[in-house]
Homo-oligomer: A and B are copies of this chain.
């Protein structure tokens, strides 16, 4: 029976697994990046592939292909990748390097956001959807967009950069480094907006105002929200408005069946899905918004790994 190897390369570790065609994980293993960079990361991946191939052979499993999920951009034409968190991987020839180590086996690489939506449509909460979107909200914000069963790549593989979505005019210079939506509603954004608001007299009683600005994280803000902290309520309310507007814009433009929420912030923010839907409903194309369903990721931190397996299985 044919099996595939899937690898989800993250910022600190590389999760690898052998998948059967029904989505079952047969073997898995994890390698830590430990500040590796450039060629050393390729060696880590190659070692993982070699180990999983050996184990597969010992168990009479045939590996037909390899799928790899990378934290950045995967350029389809060249097989090169750009991964800001891996030093030296700026237009790095990852496919070429791996293919040299494993000639004769099909290797496919795609971005994390592309893999997330592939994973969710294969084995998660967007099963059988042909038009669905994975909204990943962690440190940053990105979207994996499935259109007519195909991942939307754009002209140069950088489609889905939804963190740059314009939602709140006029333009403010503070959006320069990451975009308006991400500035307001990513994990880092939630911390940043909190620090900005602490300056206001109104929130001097907030427990967050008593912390060092450098110590404030989205997690602190969610914890304070649970205790009805007024500053946390304001910041989360701001984020819900932005998430709702972004959902509305995705719905009006793409008319998707589902939008799946994942990443570190969803997580704790999953409880706000109904509020996000209510905000989106105000703005969106009125028929389209009734047809969409907002859901949590079913695969959580495994979405990239499942997506890489799905990628490997696709023609």
Contact = CB atoms under 8 A, between A and B. Distances in A.
Contacts of A153: 148, 255
Interface in A219-264: 241, 245, 248-250, 252-257
Contact of A285 (B169, B179, B253): B179
Contact of A241 (B148, B170, B282): B170
A165 interface: yes
Contact of A159 (B241, B254, B284): B254
B155 A291 contact: yes
A164 B291 contact: no
B155 A253 contact: no
Q: Size range of the interface on A?
A: 35 or more
Interface string A126-150: 0001110000000000010101101
A119 B179 CA distance: 33
B285 A161 contact: yes
A275 B152 CA distance: 28
A157 interface: yes
A302 B238 CA distance: 45
A175 interface: yes
B253 A145 contact: yes
B169 A255 contact: no
A275 to B, nearest CB: 13
A166 interface: yes
Given A161-B252, A245-B166, A283 B148 contact: no
11 contacts: A152-B254, A155-B255, A158-B285, A164-B283, A164-B284, A164-B285, A165-B249, A166-B167, A166-B248, A171-B283, A179-B285
Interface of A: 129-131, 143, 145, 147-148, 150, 152-171, 175, 179-180, 241, 245, 248-250, 252-257, 279, 282-285, 287-288, 291
